[in-house]
Amino acid sequence: MFNRIKQALINTSGKISSGIDNIFFKKKLDDNSLNELEELLVAADMGSAVAALLIQRLKTTKFDKDITVELIKEKLAEEISNILAVSNNKFTCDHPGLNVILVCGVNGSGKTTTIGKLAASYMQSGKKVAIAACDTFRAAAVEQLAEWSIRSNTMLFTGDIEADPASVAYSAMQQAIANNIDILFIDTAGRLHNYQNLMDELSKIVRVLKKIDPIVPHHCLLVIDGTTGQNVFNQVEQFTAIAGVTGLIITKLDGTAKAGAIVGIVKKFALPVHFIGVGEKIDDLKQFDHLDFAKTLVGI
């Protein structure tokens, strides 16, 4: 698994690792070298606030003395893992009875595929899983979920084309309870965070589900395209305000040099990253390990 992460993050880690090699080769840890490192971290999409914080913490390590590249990478990985430590708690679906997981995200983030992979994983672990297809305005989304439902042997709840997504979610939750389902994934339509009518629709789904059980959804997962970089901050802010996001899934990390943005997102919003996508296969969605991720990011 560690090797898979290394391969997926090779674009970002290569950029950071080679940059550190060039900056600290036979040099002191001084203001000049730290300024260069700060610029490197910002360029890797970590954001200016996180870069400044990491530099401040590095100043406590043999400042103004000769230092090895290895020590810099180890210290940087340690500080990054501390920021990401909010993700340390393993994602669980252990609520007695039905666990309801609402999944949201912008168009093209890989949301529907991610649900299919998660459903297959939980079926393999012995859970009884169902999926609610609440993207009622895109027939292809329902067809895609139907394919995943067949592949993973999960139950699929659908509504009529252009049916009210909230009513489909409500009916799906009732049917899931009646069928003693352990986990119900609710797939919502991809929507841009600044389209108010679509965000209102998402808010309505949450309100309607709470009429059945006021503590649902038990998880609200926001799927983020890893190639988005710093532009994802507005997404996280708006989806959290509307749907109460509880955790993140980062997809497409195998095709980006912007994976450093994850550190900035976690630092700003204190939201855990639960899973990361490292490829297209059914088993290419992996639980996030903040220690492995931090080490890989700096090239250790």
Q: Which residues are annotated as a binding site?
A: 105-112, 187-191, 251-254
Residue owning tokens 């890893």: 226
**Contact at 8 Å (CB) between 292 and 4?**
no
- Indicate the annotated binding residues for GTP: 105-112, 187-191, 251-254
**Contact at 8 Å (CB) between 51 and 42?**
yes
| Beta strands, E only, 95-154 | 99-104, 129-133
Which of 227, 119, 220 lies closest to 176, judged by CA? 119
**Contact at 8 Å (CB) between 181 and 155?**
yes
Distance between CA atoms of residues 270 and 97, nearest Å: 28
Helix axes 261-269, 69-83, angle to 10 degrees: 40
Asked if residue 217 has a cis previous peptide bond (ω within 30° of 0), the answer is yes
Q: How far is CA 66 from CA 29, 42, 51, 63, 211, in A?
A: 6, 24, 22, 8, 63
